[in-house]
């Protein structure tokens, strides 16, 4: 074992060795190396502050209590705040943006709504093919929850916004058609050649012909939307008006939550996007129906299971009791009964006998004999009102 004095001597020797080595480095021009390193760090910090990325500095204290500067570039700042453009299309949110959007109700709590939109895609694929006489493919990009004010600010202009009303639900919805789909529909309906992209002229308002053709397409889409909701709840979506300025298409408060469904419509080398917005207030009358679970394409019901259950019920065995007569007796008389005692009933051989299933009277009949067994011939059925 080593004594405390020996440990102190070892520590002093180790410290002297470190001082000698550091002194040797200083004698070899280590001071100039440290000055060069400090100058290099200062130049890096200066570039981080004056560069195009617009980074920021974060002071971090090391173990010795000294502060060192940590430079954040623009990409790291965007990731922290949640404004990363790379993930905007995917719908993934992070950072502060995710915290701000956490108050929204997720559409995933309405499982039946996704089935309705899948049905809408299939219906629109058929109806738009008949409408344009062209090969049309409709695909569902995504379904997201968003605040109504944020959606209006995110609409790429120019675009056409169609306001429609759900008659039975007494509320409104919004259909947004982007410019590429508008020019593609006009080009297809007016006989444009295939293989050539639709001409897009910026900076001019839409003509009456363009508005009329787009309105016809919206009518077709609203009819399919009504058919998609038909198995769930009958509703009629009526076209109200067509707007080109988002401020005139305000159908809800900016802070209210809404569900946005983005559809992609492709017509060979032409096409565009169509967005359907339904505020949660519009879906409130059918919220209970949208919350129910489903199996396959069956909207809340399984006819196969119902048929199987009905068939098995007919095979169920039940006991029928033949009641000749009933008599009310005192408890003392019941306790006085002995072997050989007789109970006199008021029934005669021709009296009606009641057939009971449990406590429920089902039929009445007359007692007889068939072979060596007593039989009951059913004469009438007890009415359900008489049972009550």
Region of residue 195 (phi > 0: left; psi between -120 and 50: alpha; otherwise: beta): left
| E runs forming strands in the chain | 56-61, 67-72, 137-147, 159-166, 171-178, 237-243, 257-267, 270-279, 321-323, 352-357, 360-370, 373-381
pLDDT digits (tens, 9 = 90+) for 186-199: 888 887 766 555 55
Residue 290, pLDDT > 60, answer: yes
- Residue 27 in tokens: 């004698």
Least confident of 19-23, 273-277, 296-300, 335-339: 296-300
Q: pTM of the predicted model, to two decimals?
A: 0.52
Report the pLDDT averaged over residues 43-51.
Answer: 51
Same fold, 104-291 and 317-387: no
Residue 369, pLDDT > 70, answer: yes
Taking the alpha carbons at both ends of the chain, their separation in whole angstroms is 100
Residue 24, pLDDT > 60, answer: no
Do 282 and 163 form a contact (C-beta atoms < 8 A)? no
Residue 355 or residue 84, greater confidence: 355
Least confident of 87-96, 186-195, 322-331: 87-96
Distance CA 51, CA 44 (A): 10
**For the ranges 25-34, 36-45, 212-221, the one whose mean pLDDT is highest:** 212-221
Distance CA 316, CA 306 (A): 16
Report the pLDDT averaged over residues 271-293.
Answer: 85
Do 55 and 70 form a contact (C-beta atoms < 8 A)? no
pLDDT at residue 361, as a whole number: 86
pLDDT at residue 296, as a whole number: 44
CATH superfamily ID and name for 317-387? SpoA-like (2.30.330.10)
Residues paired with 35 in a beta bridge: none
pLDDT at residue 226, as a whole number: 92
Do 273 and 181 form a contact (C-beta atoms < 8 A)? yes
Instruction: Give the distance from CA 209 to its chain's centroid.
Output: 37
pLDDT at residue 349, as a whole number: 77
Q: Where are the domains of the chain?
A: 54-60+69-103, 104-291, 317-387
Residues paired with 143 in a beta bridge: 261
Q: Which CATH number, 3.40.1550.10, 3.60.10.10, 3.40.50.720, 3.40.50.300, labels domain 104-291?
A: 3.40.1550.10
Using pLDDT thresholds of 50, 70 and 90, give the confidence band for residue 297.
Answer: very low
Q: Which of 22, 68, 59 is nearest to 41 (CA)?
A: 68
pLDDT digits (tens, 9 = 90+) for 133-155: 888 888 888 888 888 888 888 88
pLDDT digits (tens, 9 = 90+) for 96-136: 666 665 555 555 577 788 888 889 999 999 998 888 888 88
Phi, psi of 278 (to 5 degrees): -125, 110
């Amino acid at each position: 074992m080593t004594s405390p004095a020996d440990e102190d001597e070892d520590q002093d020797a180790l410290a002297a060795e470190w001082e000698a080595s550091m002194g040797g480095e200083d004698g070899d021009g280590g001071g100039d190396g440290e000055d060069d390193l400090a100058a290099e760090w200062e130049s890096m910090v200066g570039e981080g502050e004056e560069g195009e990325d617009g980074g920021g500095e974060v002071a971090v204290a090391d173990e010795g209590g000294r502060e060192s500067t940590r430079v954040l570039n623009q990409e790291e700042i965007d990731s922290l705040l949640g404004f990363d453009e790379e993930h905007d299309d995917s719908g993934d949110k992070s950072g502060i943006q995710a915290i701000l959007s956490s108050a929204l109700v997720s559409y995933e709590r309405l499982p039946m709504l996704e089935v309705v939109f899948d049905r809408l895609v299939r219906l629109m694929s058929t109806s738009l093919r008949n409408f344009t006489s062209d090969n049309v493919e409709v695909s569902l990009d995504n379904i997201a929850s968003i605040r109504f004010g944020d959606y209006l600010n995110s609409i790429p202009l120019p675009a056409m916004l169609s306001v429609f009303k759900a008659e039975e639900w007494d509320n409104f919805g919004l259909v947004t058609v982007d410019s590429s789909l508008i020019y593609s529909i006009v080009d297809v309906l007016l006989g444009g050649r295939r293989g050539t992209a639709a001409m897009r002229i910026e900076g001019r308002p839409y003509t009456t012909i363009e508005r009329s053709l787009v309105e016809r397409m919206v009518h077709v889409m609203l009819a399919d939307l009504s058919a998609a909701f038909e198995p769930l709840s009958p509703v009629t979506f009526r076209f109200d008006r067509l707007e080109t300025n988002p401020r005139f298409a305000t159908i809800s408060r900016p802070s209210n939550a809404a569900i946005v469904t983005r559809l992609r419509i492709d017509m060979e080398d032409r096409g565009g996007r169509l967005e359907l917005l339904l505020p949660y207030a519009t879906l409130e009358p059918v919220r209970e129906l949208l919350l129910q679970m489903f199996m396959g394409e069956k909207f809340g019901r399984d006819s196969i299971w119902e048929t199987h259950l009905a068939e098995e019920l007919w095979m169920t065995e039940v006991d029928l009791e033949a009641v000749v007569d009933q008599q009310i007796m005192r408890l003392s008389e019941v306790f006085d009964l002995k072997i050989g005692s007789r109970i006199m009933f008021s029934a005669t051989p021709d009296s009606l006998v009641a057939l009971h299933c449990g406590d429920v009277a089902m039929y009445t009949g007359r007692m007889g004999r068939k072979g060596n067994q007593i039989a009951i011939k059913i004469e009438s059925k007890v009415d359900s009102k008489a049972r009550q």
